[in-house]
Structure 1
Amino acid sequence: MKLLLAVLLGLAGAAPLEDSKECTPHSRPWQVSLDTPSCSGALIDKWWIVTSFECAPRPYSTVASLGEHDINGEEGTEQHILVADVIRHSPYRSPLHSLTLVRLAQPARFTRHVQPIPLPSRCPKPGETCSVSGWGSTVPYQYGYTGRLLCITVPIVDDQTCVKTFPPDIYWGTMVCAGQENTDNCLTDRGSVMVCDGQLQGVQWFGYGCQNPAHPTVYSKLCEYNDWIQSMMDSYSPTLPTMRTANAPRS
């Protein structure tokens, strides 16, 4: 898939972009690439990934790549695992949600390069500084990619500012806005991950900061979804053989 993507970009004349906001390699061991540089997610458990509604992969057709930094080649740190269950939060339109849970076909092996990120124990606070990471571009109106994981630093924007910035049919309470004029607020990865104080607080919903640098970008407010995430993880828990059944003699 990655080789095909590189060939297609070459044919289109879309050379990888230079970008000064490259993350320290492997400093985000929870970041997952979902078979394309424009969609990623966050590992929250050895079986589970959180991503956006738009980035929902196809079961048993998509490979999740863990332990990545430069997706242009193999670094020896990767784990490539097939996606099994894909659970989109519904209803999508009323009220609006944008969240997908992805179960891996086999558990991730935790290493120095592959680690889960904790779910939030609280909601983000206005003015709090958070980190957003993903593969894509941090330059508005440029949709190429560097191939390397990028990081930007964003402030959380208060709800009142979000409501005033966007039409009332766009902003709901299950969103959190981050980034504003004169700050970083653009990363074109449609599943970019926002972490505040070591906790997963958002995945990208609307990349408005890439369309208008004066606008914040909107993320799913993960603190509002803890109960739903835990419920889905319990309901779709993989059935593994017990030691007794695994060693039982065949009749």
Structure 2
Amino acid sequence: MTGKLKLARAAFAAVILVAASAGAVGTAQAKPPAPIVGGTAASTAQTPWAIALNNSGSPVPSGQWCGATLVKANKIVTAAHCMDEPRSTYTAIQGRDKLTNGGGKTSKISSIWVDPDYGAVPGHDVAVLTLTTPFTGIATLPLETSTAADKAGAQPTVYGWGDTFDDRIQNQFRKVVVPVLGDTYCGDVYASEGYVANGEICAGYKQGGKDSCQGDSGGPLVLNGRLFGIVSWGIGCAEAGHPGVYAEVATYSATLATEINS
């Protein structure tokens, strides 16, 4: 790959994913930048399907690692690149606006499914986790099933936890609107990084300033009340000319549905 590194948006033990010309993926450690740049405070009471996916190996006290989305009482959807650690080290947290506070529901993970094509070919950055303790009585988010939803000008919102560049609020649930810029735009600016038009969504601001970032990986990009995308990767965070890239849920919706209903 030429140019800047393609940076997956996993949490503080972030992983750099380098897409080689043959589509293979390599890894290297990255320093911990900040999540949800340029956003505002959000409430899990209003978005109960937003899940924090913590890990005991996280170097921060809150355990912050990645985000996820509740799609069934016992199933959450996240990014494949978040699942590099042993299953026993993950904890799903629901209903906690600030991760260093108590409250909400928690569950360990009983099983993990990662798209088998992830790492072999570009895209496919999706995973389904089964909760040991179902989050019963909590609203779930349906999957987007139409690839036609990925059109330039759409106004989805991305959600996540973590520090911000400006005020250093730690582990606080936040949100930001990131307009869809379209496959043509990201196909041009990420030509050497392996952007996949039929499996990824290009969303953000050409001038930068607002974006998802490390710590937001696996979290929900929501449009019209559906899980539209999954935070995947980008070059830097909120940089001009480098919007965020999200796994396109509609592309993988049939496969995801099979795993969710298994």
Specify the TM-score bucket, using the shorter chain as the normaliser: 0.7 to 0.9
**Residue 38 of structure 1 contacts residue 136 of structure 1 at CA under 8 Å; is this kept in 2?**
no
**Separation of aligned partners in 2, 1:161 and 1:20:** 23
> 2:222 matched to 1:198?
no
Match of 1:179 among 197, 201, 204: 204
Give 2:175's match in structure 1, choosing from 151, 158, 165.
151
Question: Matches of residues 225-244 of structure 1 in structure 2 within 5 Å?
Answer: 225-234=252-261, 237=262
Q: Distance in 1 between matches of 2:186 and 2:219?
A: 19
Deviations along 1:124-152, one digit per CA (max 9) or x if unpaired, are 32100010000124539x9x652210100
Q: Deviations over 1:185-230 (max 9, x none)?
A: 2333222310001100111111335062331100000001111012
Specify whether residues 155 and 202 from structure 1 end up closer, same or farther in structure 2 by C-alpha distance, changes over 3 A only: same
Please give the per-residue CA displacement for 1:154-196, whole angstroms capped at 9, x wherever unaligned. 1011111011011245211211110023462233322231000
1:213 is the counterpart of 2:240: yes
- The answer to which structure has the higher strand fraction is 2
Residues 162-173 of structure 1: pairs in structure 2 closer than 5 A: 162-172=186-196, 173=198
Moved more, 20-29 or 120-129: 20-29
Task: Give the alignment partner of residue 158 of structure 2, picking from 124, 132, 136.
Answer: 132
Contact 1:138 1:186 in 2 (8 A): no
Under a length normalisation based on structure 1, what TM-score does the superposition of the two structures give? 0.76
The answer to whether the 8 A contact 1:54-1:98 is kept is yes
AA matched with 2:202: C
In structure 2, what residue type is equivalent to 1:233? I
Letter in 2 for 1:136: G
Quote the Cα distance in structure 1 between the aligned partners of 2:90 and 2:228: 25
Is 1:119 the equivalent of 2:143? Answer: yes
Question: Aligned residue pairs: how many?
Answer: 214
> Which structure 2 residue ranges, 5 or more long, are not aligned?
1-11, 13-36, 55-62
In structure 1, what is the Cα distance between the partners aligned to 2:117 and 2:39? 39
Structure 2 residue 103 is matched with structure 1 residue 88? no
Deviations 1:95-137 (A, max 9, x none): 2221111011132122xxx321111132332100010000124
Distance 1:196 1:216 in 2: 17
Identity %, equivalent residues: 23
* More helix by percentage: 1
- Indicate the residue corresponding to 2:26 in structure 1: none
Structure-2 residue corresponding to 1:58: 86
Distance 1:20 1:130 in 2: 13
Counterpart for residue 98 of structure 2? 70
4+ aligned runs moved over 6 Å, structure 1 = none
Q: What's the CA shift for 1:82?
A: 1.0
TM-score by length of 2: 0.73
Q: Distance in 2 between matches of 1:229 and 1:186?
A: 23
Post-superposition Cα deviations, 1:50-84, rounded to whole Å, max 9, x if no partner, equal: 0011212632332211112111111x3x1111111
Give the Cα–Cα distance (whole angstroms) in 2 for the partners of residues 59 and 25 of structure 1: 25
Distance in 2 (CA, whole Å) between partners of 1:185 and 1:19 is: 7
Q: Which deviates more from structure 2 when the two are superposed, residues 161-170 or residues 54-63? A: 54-63
Change (3 A) 1:108 1:93: same
Distance 1:45 1:38 in 2: 21
In structure 2, the partner of 1:22 is: 41
Structure 1 counterpart SS, 2:42: coil
CA distance in 1, matches of 2:91, 2:195: 32
- In 1, are the aligned partners of 2:163 and 2:171 still within 8 Å (CA)? no
Letter in 2 for 1:121: T
Q: State the structure with more CA Rg.
A: 1
